[in-house]
Structure 1
Amino acid sequence: MPSIQSAAVVNFSSIKGSVEIREIAKPEIGEEDVLLEVANVGVCGSDLHQWTADHSWTVNYPVVLGHEFGGHIVEMGSRVTQWKIGDRVVSETAAVVNMSSPMSRIGLYNLDPDRKGFGYGVNGAMTKFVKVPARCLHRVPDQLPFEQACLTEPCCVAYNAVVNNSPIKPGDRVVVIGPGTIGILCAAVARLCGAQVAVTGLEADRHRLNIAAKYGCEAIIGDASEWAKRADGLGADVVIDAAGTSFTLKLALDLVRPNGHITKVGWGPQPMGFSLDPLVQKNITLQGSFSHNWPVWEKVISLLASGQLDVKPIIGGVWPITQWHEAFEKMHSGEVVKSVLKPV
């Protein structure tokens, strides 16, 4: 029998704009894998960076994009237990990890040097079927629609950055730089932690800053210094850099108070071009935050299912896979915060 072919959004080379719809065969799964029929898949900033060829990570071309996804189990490998056909699930992003590595052995497989993720290391979910290791799966409660559940992954990035990697206490003043998906979700999680939060961006970010305001945040275009120093003149307790350019880290150094904390979650390959002396002079802690692991996913799914963390305000629309270009463009231009795709 001929294999089933499905439309997929494929990044086929490192040249700018090298993304197109291709027909691909249904994946063959291994004994510890499941085959998911994808219900929805979110468009991530990293998908856009691979499309515009300004990413800073190695890509295994050609590759199907998409690592924010959920769907139903339609096939299971012979050694898969605790799951059944039809289960509603979302998947973590660490498609390939060495479970014997020192990082994996302590539960931080997201930091395993051999890690390869969906959408750059192996084929992702911007298609009808995707092969997923069963260890990556998390159950989705019936009350949580897939167009929201597929955004569990960026929520986990935010949760890890804010809860695990930032010492935020109720009443702290927190500045988030960059009103993209991760920035707004970091702000939302910081609000859940009891912080007073401002989100700062450029004039072109006005629409996205208005969405940040829906989460109870102060939306600031341009300089956030006055807000950061409003309490006692010293600056914000925590600054989260969710933009990733060199300038925003310099800005974070200016906004944070002495003995304060900066969490850097935004990527950017550019050289810094400025002195880190303020980091020393102000006794600042600079913390990187990357990805997430099992307990983070369980916490976030609970928050989403209960409605305590609501992703509906950031969803700018749902497009069929075949209209990926429009969905990418609307995110790239800042017209929407998050685009969601649906396989056809």
Structure 2
Amino acid sequence: MGRQATSAYAEEHADRMSAVVNYEPEAVELREVEVPEIEDGEALIRVEAVGICGSDVHQWHGSHSWPVNYPVTLGHEFGGVVEEIQGSDEFEAGDRVVSETAAEIDETSPLSRRGLYNLDPSRKGFGYGTDGAMARYVAVPIRCLHHIPDDLSFERAALTEPCSVAYNAVCGNADVNPGDSVLVLGPGPIGLLCVQMAALSGASTVVASGLPADQDRLDVAEELGATHTVTGDAVEFVDGLGDGLGVDTVIDAAGVSATFETAMDVVRPDGHITKVGWGPQPMEYSMDPVVQKAVTVQGSFSHTWEIWEKVITLLGTGQLDVEPVVDRVAPLEEWRECFEGMHEREYIKCVLTPNE
């Protein structure tokens, strides 16, 4: 997993560190691993904050639907300080940064050359393809780094990644405009951030839909800009809005495939559905309504450099508020309590601080 610790920092300090390691399917624990060595074009980042994503919890339970290079340190939502760097004129030791998630890409592929490296088939991300940031240090390609403002806390900056996922889904792939009506399915962290992005984009009606057990999260959705929330029949609710033809855009941020049927029922003819939530279950549903309604169905995955820069600006100006989404900030040693709390829906989002 970790490369041999031969960096100047590792030689001067202890070459071991604690890390939350997914060492085999359905098996995660806090382990001692080697401090990573950096190579030319990389930076060693001292991790100050790392968010726990639903994907981390899925790997913990073995319920994920993507390949994992075991053993691997979890964590892909992070910010920290450059400890050591090789081969950069843009960054230097001491810089405050966040990192994109595309840890390994083929920079010569047609998609990467178009700036769509997030869709490069060979892409490997932190936390499943290569070692992530639930540790004191992580090695990061310099191309992944972004500067952050001095007054942006690391706990907030660590959410740049999920905010970028939401930005890409709502502002990029859905193209929400002022006056639009939007329904967001699934009030998890991404769904809640999609609510806020829709509100920031000027949507006049933003509906957040969830289960009765999601009421606390739907209350947060209202804080973030939802004009309506619903725990019952979303189709019946949408039928009573506007002209009754449905909403302009549906953002499906739920982690189940069945919600696509709901999305098709509530979207208006010539409307738009963007699916950003993973749903690996088989979908026993006719696609005929897609044709009958002439609906655009769009997948949304990951993010790009430009999106990160826009999100950092929004976080820095305070236009994007992630405080209502974060329930707990805890040291790395309390990772299990945080994972369990998110799995049991006690927490929406937890952030770990490996260097406190």
SS at match of 2:24: coil
For residue 245 of structure 1, report the CA deviation from its aligned partner: 0.9
Residue identity over aligned pairs, in percent, reads 57
Gaps in structure 1 of 5+ consecutive residues = none
SS at match of 2:272: strand
- 1:234 and 2:260 correspond: no
2:60 to 36, 47, 51: 51
Q: TM-score, normalised by structure 2?
A: 0.94
CA contact (8 A) 2:235 2:262 kept: no
Alpha-carbon distance in 1 for matches of 2:229, 2:342: 19
Worse-superposed segment, 195-204 or 296-305 = 195-204
Gaps in structure 2 of 5+ consecutive residues = 1-10
**Structure-2 residue corresponding to 1:249:** 260
2:21 to 1, 4, 10: 10
For residue 81 of structure 1, report the CA deviation from its aligned partner: 1.9
For residue 289 of structure 1, report the CA deviation from its aligned partner: 0.3
For residue 244 of structure 1, report the CA deviation from its aligned partner: 2.9
- Give, as a single letter, the amino acid of the residue that structure 1 aligns with 2:185: I
For residue 227 of structure 1, report the CA deviation from its aligned partner: 3.8
1:93 to 59, 77, 101: 101
**Structure-2 residue corresponding to 1:178:** 186
CA contact (8 A) 2:249 2:267 kept: yes
For residue 3 of structure 1, report the CA deviation from its aligned partner: 4.9
**Structure-1 residue corresponding to 2:3:** none
Per-residue CA deviation, residues 154-188 of structure 1 (Å, 9 max, x unaligned), is: 00000000011003111111000000000000110
**Structure-2 residue corresponding to 1:19:** 28
- Give, as a single letter, the amino acid of the residue that structure 1 aligns with 2:119: L
**Structure-2 residue corresponding to 1:223:** 233
For residue 39 of structure 1, report the CA deviation from its aligned partner: 0.2
- Give, as a single letter, the amino acid of the residue that structure 2 aligns with 1:31: D
Alpha-carbon distance in 1 for matches of 2:338, 2:38: 30
Per-residue CA deviation, residues 92-142 of structure 1 (Å, 9 max, x unaligned), is: 000001111000001010011110000000000000000000010000101
**Structure-2 residue corresponding to 1:190:** 198
Alpha-carbon distance in 2 for matches of 1:5, 1:223: 53
SS at match of 2:83: strand
**Structure-1 residue corresponding to 2:7:** none
Q: TM-score, normalised by structure 1?
A: 0.97
SS at match of 1:113: coil
Per-residue CA deviation, residues 239-285 of structure 1 (Å, 9 max, x unaligned), is: 00001312111110111111111000001211001111111111111
Alpha-carbon distance in 2 for matches of 1:4, 1:125: 16
**Structure-2 residue corresponding to 1:303:** 314
Alpha-carbon distance in 1 for matches of 2:232, 2:300: 25
**Structure-2 residue corresponding to 1:148:** 156
**Structure-1 residue corresponding to 2:217:** 208
Worse-superposed segment, 296-305 or 271-280 = 271-280
Structure 1 outlier segments of 4+, above 6 Å: none
